[in-house]
Chains A and B, each alone.
Chain A
Amino acid sequence: MATNEAAPARPAAATDVAATDVAAAAAVVAATTGADTRSGTSVSLRELTRVFGATRALDGMSLDIAPGELVALLGPSGCGKTTALRIVAGFETATSGEVLVDGNDVQGVPAARRDMGMVFQSYSLFPNMSALDNVAFGLRMRKVGASARRNKAGELLEMVGLSAQAAQFPHQLSGGQQQRVALARALAIEPQVLLLDEPLSALDAKVRLQLREQIRTLQQRLGTTTLFVTHDQEEALSMADRVGVMRAGRLEQVAAPDELYDNPATAFVAEFVGTMNRIPGTLGSDGSSVTVLGTTVPVQPGGPSSGAVNALIRPENLTITPAENGNGIVFLRTFLGAVSRITVLLSGDLQVLVDIPSTTAAAMVPGASVAVGIPSSAVHVVPAAG
């Protein structure tokens, strides 16, 4: 096995949160699904590092996945999430670190013998086999008899709602149908771990939503430990028990979706998840408070303590009221259904987005003068770019 490298210093938030949250997550999963989590499989990634020449695709990533849990790895392209998944699957090897399945290191085990089911991004169905044969393939490799295979595959196709397409070939199926067959195929072998590599990215928006639900429902009923990679935050937030936000090969934060949204641990997470306004502010003398739009509020730890800064505030947390001599002018009003998003021009060429219920948005016509205010809770600050 590769030698251990000294772990570089990184924000305390990541792994400590992960370790303590696992037990909590396992309890939540057990409560909501009723699945027998004691029989499920736990997966642990320990200090995974993957180096290609000068690039560090993964940099000391650690994650514990509880039995029956669905953890989503979320991040921009190049952040290492797919690399991590592929290392777990066995298609790539880590330069250092461990992958433990139920406590056993599986790095020496070839991919074919890892008992994990994987769903790829697209085009992974075998073109020369019908849907049924595709689903039965894993069973065939495990020497299951022909009629048993067919029955089992048929059951699984029914589970994903494609019994009628059993005899059809992949090129006759739509993208959404193909991915459902791929899911059935991965589940047919009753894997210990389910791995999903951006399975919905190549699909239409509507199909994506339907499949999201289906995957989540199936996963919960079966209680299969799942690792799900995506760059779509909406997908991650809506499907996962916990989400790990990654950047440049490291986990910035691992937490339940609401925790991630309300209490982002770092500025990157704050801006990556949901929409975020950056509003210039002035730090107080000791750096523990910041004055933004005339209001002084405390600062979240972890940011700069001096210099020019921007405060990160969510659109729904800003207040907006019509005012004769307010600090801003309405530039644009976008109707989004229940909520309307108001783009306000503040002094200094600054634009902010404010979300308000559409019922109260009538007064916000373009050109109207308004006053925008911030809430009194602590905010994240980031250095203002030059």
Chain B
Amino acid sequence: MAAIGEYAKQGWIRRAISAPPGNPGARVSRSGRFAAWRWVIMIIAGAYFLLPLYSALRFAGVSGFGSVFTTPGFGAALWTSIQISAMTWVITMALMVPTTIYVHLRLPRLRVLLESITILPIVIPPIVLTLGVLQVAPLDLKATMWLLGIEYVILAMPFAYRAIDAGLRSIDLKTLTEAAGNLGAGWFTTIWRVILPNLGTSVLSATVLIVALCLGEFTMASLNLVQTFPVWIVLFDQENAQISTSASILALVVTWLFLMLIVTIGTRRARRTGAGEVTLFTVSANTTTIGES
């Protein structure tokens, strides 16, 4: 404590420090300067993102939107995409939910391995994956939507895992399970009545991502010669560019509306139960969403 005394007596630093003088009137309106800069960025961004949308709308015209639903092939392609989404969703959920719960409860050490595996579909470009799939897929499955559904599960897996993992972590799975067991619940009851209801928002997140994936994925679909919605749009562009453009915009709008709907429901639900909000695009140190496929 001797140093304190010395310090108190010495003022040598004060000579070296140029004391900042009070300067009334020199006040910078910090919020003012910030606001201007922020506006500039948002305007440029807004222009970049909205103008192409606008031009596409103009190009498609009313006629494009009007006749898109009655265009031959539209319905079939859309229906194919919907079926694939459903298939992907079912398999992904059936696969990922039990596995993630199981790993959390019984094999916590495998979590790191699991996380690393779920990065792989992102690291391997879909184009490369398609190469391999076409090589090894059995002949009867080739060029069918079933193969696509199976492969989309692989593509959706990282997001589904992330969402469910985040959901499980937020509810402290271990404690809940022990509490349920202590009160006399068996495994099935615990999963059905305690864990799953709390996973609602995670399942919602994963669903949203799966739908967006299936409605937008082009690479694997086109190279597998399956006419999903995006593939149809490209093919049809040769015939009628306007209709293709309106179909694209429709896809975008529908995806957006679907996302907003699910987020609103999810947030309302979360507010009621106090669970976390629907994280659409959960990102962590290990993985992320990726742009187009």
Contacts and interface: CB of A to CB of B under 8 A. Distances in A.
Given A108-B26, A110-B27, A148 B16 contact: yes
Contact of A113 (B3, B13, B23): B23
Ranked 10 nearest A-B pairs via Cβ: A108-B24, A113-B20, A108-B27, A142-B17, A109-B22, A221-B4, A158-B3, A159-B3, A221-B8, A144-B16
A221 B1 CA distance: 10
A114 B3 CA distance: 27
B7 A189 contact: no
Nearest to A1: B24
B5 A221 contact: yes
B46 interface: no
A104 interface: yes
Interface in A154-178: 155-156, 158-159
Given A108-B27, A222-B8, 8 more contacts: A108-B25, A109-B22, A142-B20, A143-B18, A155-B7, A190-B11, A190-B13, A190-B17
A212 interface: no
Contact of B28 (A110, A144, A218, A221): A110
Nearest to B19: A115
Given A148-B13, A152-B13, A142 B26 contact: no
Given A115-B20, A159-B4, A139 B25 contact: no
A29 B70 CA distance: 89
Contacts of B11: 190
B14 interface: yes
A144 B17 contact: yes
Nearest to A163: B3
Given A221-B8, A222-B7, A105 B24 contact: yes
Contacts of A108: 22-27
Given A109-B27, A144-B16, A148-B16, A159 B22 contact: no
B21 interface: yes
A223 B13 CA distance: 17
B16 A190 contact: no
A26 interface: no
A138 B168 CA distance: 44
Nearest to B21: A113
Contacts of A155: 3, 6-7
Interface string A122-143: 0000000000000000010011
14 contacts: A108-B22, A112-B20, A113-B20, A113-B21, A139-B13, A139-B17, A144-B13, A144-B16, A159-B4, A190-B11, A190-B13, A190-B17, A221-B5, A222-B8
Contacts of A104: 22, 24
A142 B25 CA distance: 22
A324 to B, nearest CB: 49
A105 B27 CA distance: 13
A144 B15 CA distance: 10
A218 B4 contact: yes
Contact of A190 (B14, B23, B27): B14
A106 interface: yes
Given A158-B3, A221-B5, A223-B8, A109 B13 contact: no
A106 B26 CA distance: 11
Contact of B24 (A109, A152, A217, A222): A109
B22 to A, nearest CB: 5
A213 B19 CA distance: 30
Contact of B18 (A112, A142, A145): A142
Interface string B115-140: 00000000000000000000000000
A148 B26 CA distance: 30
A108 B23 CA distance: 7
Contacts of B25: 108
A108 B27 CA distance: 5
Contacts of B19: 115
Contacts of B22: 101, 104, 106, 108-109, 113-114
Contacts of B17: 139, 142, 144, 189-190
Contacts of A148: 13, 16
